[in-house]
Amino acid sequence: MEAALATLASLTEASYSEEVGKLVVAAQKKLAEDETGIEFQSVRITGLKDGIAALDCNAPDIAKKLSHQIKSRFGDVLSKSSFLVRALKILDIRVWPETKDDLCEFGKAEMTSILQHFAEILCQKVDCVEVMGEWLQLKIYISSNMLHLPAE
């Protein structure tokens, strides 16, 4: 999760434009390879050359708008100083303490912060008191049964 957020945060308008450009090239290549045309669920797709050309012309604008929307919607989460990103590090089992006593205390403050952050969304559907008990059960189960698995 943290890696996905870091990747998303590092992408720039130029990165998005480059990816849209790759999409255009791949679509042009597929269209050139298939002389009979492209079908989707037995329906022949027409006007693809025009659509691909329009996408190619508008790629910088699409990339700019995409970048703006991602930053406006996820900017607080994507920030390296985001408490949410820091709090989610408790899900990385590589940093979990080895002793049962330390493990029982591990992540309580972070889980409380996460629950407080999402309280408005969770309040009608989730018993936040039970979440802390389930968090403890999860840590004990994973430490007892799954630490032999790679943490990726």
Tallying the residues shown for the chain, one arrives at: 152
- pTM greater than 0.85: no
Closest C-alpha to 113, from 85, 75, 143, 137: 85
- Residue spans per domain, the chain: 2-78, 83-145
CA distance 108 to 55: 48
Integer Cα distance of 10 and 78 in angstroms: 9
Q: What is the pLDDT of residue 78?
A: 65
pLDDT in tens, 36-94: 677 888 888 888 888 888 888 888 888 888 888 877 877 776 665 577 777 878 888 88
Cα angle 1, 147, 145 (rounded to 5 degrees) comes to 115
8 A C-beta contact, residue 136 and residue 102: no
> What is the pLDDT of the chain when averaged over all its residues?
81
Six-digit token string for 134: 């389930």
Mean pLDDT of 90-110: 88
pLDDT, mean of residues 121-136:
89
- Could you count the other beta carbons within 10 Å of the beta carbon of residue 83? 15
- Asked whether the predicted pLDDT for residue 17 surpasses 60, the reply is yes
**Residues forming beta bridges with residue 43, ordered by sequence position:** 40
Whether residue 132 has pLDDT greater than 60: yes
22-37 pLDDT per residue, tens: 888 888 888 888 766 7
From CA 84, how far away is CA 30, in angstroms rounded? 42
